Amino acid sequence: MRTLVIGDIHGGLRALTQLLERAEVTPNNQLIFLGDYVDGWSQSAQVIECLIELSKKNQCVFIKGNHDVWCEHWLAEGSVNDVWYIHGGKETIESYKGYSKTQKHAHLNFFEAMPLFHLDDKNRLFIHAGFTSMHGVKKEIQKEVFYYDRTLWEMALTLDKLIKQDSELFPNRLKHYKEIYIGHTPTTRYHKYQPMQAANVWNVDTGAAFTGKLSAIDINTKEVFQSDSLMHLYPNEMGRNK
């Protein structure tokens, strides 16, 4: 079975639709999404609707990201986090205009059911941001780091490429897993527009919220699929480019 890992969508339904078409996704494919489905472009509610329908056809894993946590709180309590509002929350709230209480409740259930990480049968970890415990995700004390941490990726980036995974010098945090797939930190920060690998960590967030594209990677072949730039798919919007 082919397994595709998909990076941060941020309300870009057009990019998601295009990506699934370009990757020629079939019901036999497993899809693992790394979180941040909302906030940025104008179709956040529609992205969630699409993912719910997709899960009826495909085996899907939906990891929870920090933007999803903010949206979940709003759907549950009606509370608007000020930080969330200026970082895409405003557009997400607007995307829910016309949605009934029943529809919103279904979306809330979808968010609440999301795991914070996923481990497959080949000891590959899928997580939105990272973790800090040297003993691995199951020993993490502060669960918020699963969707906020950037130190895991920063550590992987700075690691000497000559240090192998079986070396005593290889960081204990990274040794626990064969591979680690993350989103959260756009590769466009490093002027890279495709998924990046550092040590055994793969970053699949290629800046769809900003000037980049939405990406998917086949975890076995490492083949990459991408949408067009979201700025071109939503020419009259800013996304999070503010």
Domains located in the chain, CATH noted:
3-233 (3.60.21.10)
Q: Which residue has the higher pLDDT, 114 or 242?
A: 114
Q: Which residue has the higher pLDDT, 81 or 197?
A: 197
3-state DSSP call for residue 225?
A: strand
Total Cβ atoms within 10 A of residue 139:
11
Q: Which residues contact 42 (CB under 8 A, 6 or more apart)?
A: 11, 91, 94, 95, 234, 237
Q: What is the pLDDT of residue 32?
A: 99
Tell me: the pLDDT tens digits for 39-61? 999 999 999 999 999 999 999 99
Residues of the chain above pLDDT 70, percent: 100
Q: What is the pLDDT of residue 242?
A: 81
Kindly compute the dihedral angle of the four CA atoms of residues 191, 182, 52, 16, in this order, to the nearest 10 degrees: 20
Q: How confident is the model at residue 79 (pLDDT cuts 50, 70, 90)?
A: confident
What value does the mean pLDDT of the chain take?
97
- Mean pLDDT score, 133-162: 96
The reported pTM is: 0.97
Q: How confident is the model at residue 14 (pLDDT cuts 50, 70, 90)?
A: very high
Q: What is the pLDDT of residue 238?
A: 95
